[in-house]
């Protein structure tokens, strides 16, 4: 399998550190989780020129890359502070789910996981009621 360019990895690592600090989230306690997601994002920078979320399946990556919603940090992160890739999590490795709409798969899988730093992150929280990446959105799905 191809490896991402070193400069792409460095770009993503820098972004991830900065965004975690800004959003009040942490890296996963298992470094292999973070490394895998960083590598996936770097691969998308090489392939598409943009850090498209690596944890979804896309029918058309090029078309998706033109949209904002699954560009890291994606709308779900900016609105609900939820990262289904587990790149931005709490110190215990759990993804924050408390702001997700009831019925969202994150709530179903993890239950209610509270945010230890509610004063940080969620720059697009005002979009919570009309998000295009709600649980009803069928387009992207888990990568297999």
Provide the binding-site residues for ligand SF4, judged by CB under 6 A: 37, 53, 55, 70, 72-74, 76-77, 83-85, 87-88
CB-wise, 42 or 72, nearer to ligand SF4? 72
CB-wise, 88 or 92, nearer to ligand SF4? 88
**75 Cβ contact partners less than 8 Å away, ≥ 6 residues apart:** 68, 69, 124, 127, 131, 132, 133
Give the SS3 label for residue 36.
Answer: helix
Shortest CB 119 distance to ligand SF4, Å? 19
What is d(CA 18, CA 67) in angstroms, rounded to the nearest whole number?
23
Catalytic residues, by residue number, are: 55
Shortest CB 84 distance to ligand SF4, Å? 5
- Before 73, cis peptide (omega within 30)? yes
CB-wise, 37 or 45, nearer to ligand SF4? 37
């Amino acid at each position: 399998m191809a490896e991402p360019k070193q400069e792409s990895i460095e770009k993503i690592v820098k972004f991830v550190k900065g965004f975690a600090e800004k959003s009040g989230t942490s890296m996963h306690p298992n470094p292999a989780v973070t490394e895998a997601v960083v590598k996936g994002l770097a691969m998308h920078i090489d392939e598409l020129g943009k850090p498209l979320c690596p944890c979804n399946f896309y029918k058309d990556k090029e078309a998706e890359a033109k949209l904002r919603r699954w560009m890291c940090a994606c709308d779900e992160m900016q609105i609900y502070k939820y990262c289904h890739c587990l790149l931005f999590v709490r110190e215990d490795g759990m993804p924050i789910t408390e702001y997700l709409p009831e019925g969202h798969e994150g709530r179903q899988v993890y239950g209610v996981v509270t945010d230890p730093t509610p004063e940080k992150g969620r720059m697009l929280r005002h979009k919570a009621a009309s998000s295009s990446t709600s649980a009803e959105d069928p387009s992207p799905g888990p990568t297999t």
